[in-house]
Amino acid sequence: MTVLGNTYTLQPPFFVLATQNPIEQEGTYPLPEAQLDRFMFLIEVGYPSAAEEKEIARSTTGTARQTLSHLLNGEKVIAFQQLVRRVPVPEHLYDYAVNIVRKTRPGEPESPQWIKDTVGWGAGPRAVQYLILGAKSRAALRGSYMASIEDLEAIAPSVLTHRVITNFSAESQGMTSKKIVERLIKEMRDE
């Protein structure tokens, strides 16, 4: 990593988490699409449930501080990453990942007309890679020995939403990137 001309070596596993608060954004600017594409997932975190909020208040407003302990070390994280890469993926899942990503691009012949009408810019090849890696990860977390279409569909909104850039027509209709991805997944399921 380079900051102000100084290079710092970061030990693996190193990754970046970025947060974006929908309020109090003065002085901050949205990331350009090319930079957003570097992030594997867009994960929206909503408010906690009432019970969770109560537990947050209970555990953070007293005098006792909870002690934290390591669950994993860097070596275990790297081992899990290597394990995920070994999860098999059937050929039809690669086809599905390529197909859904290509359909997000308004300039592609296979894109539905409604995509051509609402999307200014679609997902790139990195999205295919992340759909496959995400499906493998979900399969491993479920204890499955193979990635499935359900795994890919479950992670597709997190992989694709920030890569599908809507146009003015979509915005005027209240059509968001998230809605576009959800509709595309549903249509592909129905095919």
pLDDT digits (tens, 9 = 90+) for 37-86: 888 898 888 899 999 999 999 888 888 877 888 899 999 999 999 999 99
Q: Is the pLDDT of residue 5 over 80?
A: yes
Q: Is the pLDDT of residue 17 over 90?
A: no
What tokens appear for 149 in the block? 């279409």
User: Per the domain annotation, does 159 fall within a domain?
Assistant: yes
Q: Which residues constitute the domain of residue 80? A: 9-20+45-190
- Return the H-helix or E-strand segment holding 120: strand 119-121
User: Per the domain annotation, does 35 fall within a domain?
Assistant: no
Structure confidence at residue 82 (pLDDT): 94
Please tell me the pTM assigned to this model.
0.85
Q: How many domains does the chain have?
A: 1
User: Per the domain annotation, does 13 fall within a domain?
Assistant: yes
Helix, coil or strand: residue 14 = coil
Structure confidence at residue 31 (pLDDT): 74
Kindly report the CATH number assigned to the domain that includes residue 81: 1.10.8.80
Burial class (CB in 10 A: 0-12, 13-18, 19+), 54: exposed
User: Per the domain annotation, does 40 fall within a domain?
Assistant: no
Predicted confidence (pLDDT) per residue in 85-124, tens digit: 999 999 999 999 999 999 999 999 999 999 999 999 999 9
User: Per the domain annotation, does 107 fall within a domain?
Assistant: yes
Mean pLDDT of the chain: 91
User: Per the domain annotation, does 34 fall within a domain?
Assistant: no
User: Per the domain annotation, does 164 fall within a domain?
Assistant: yes
| 8-state DSSP, 148 | -
User: Per the domain annotation, does 30 fall within a domain?
Assistant: no
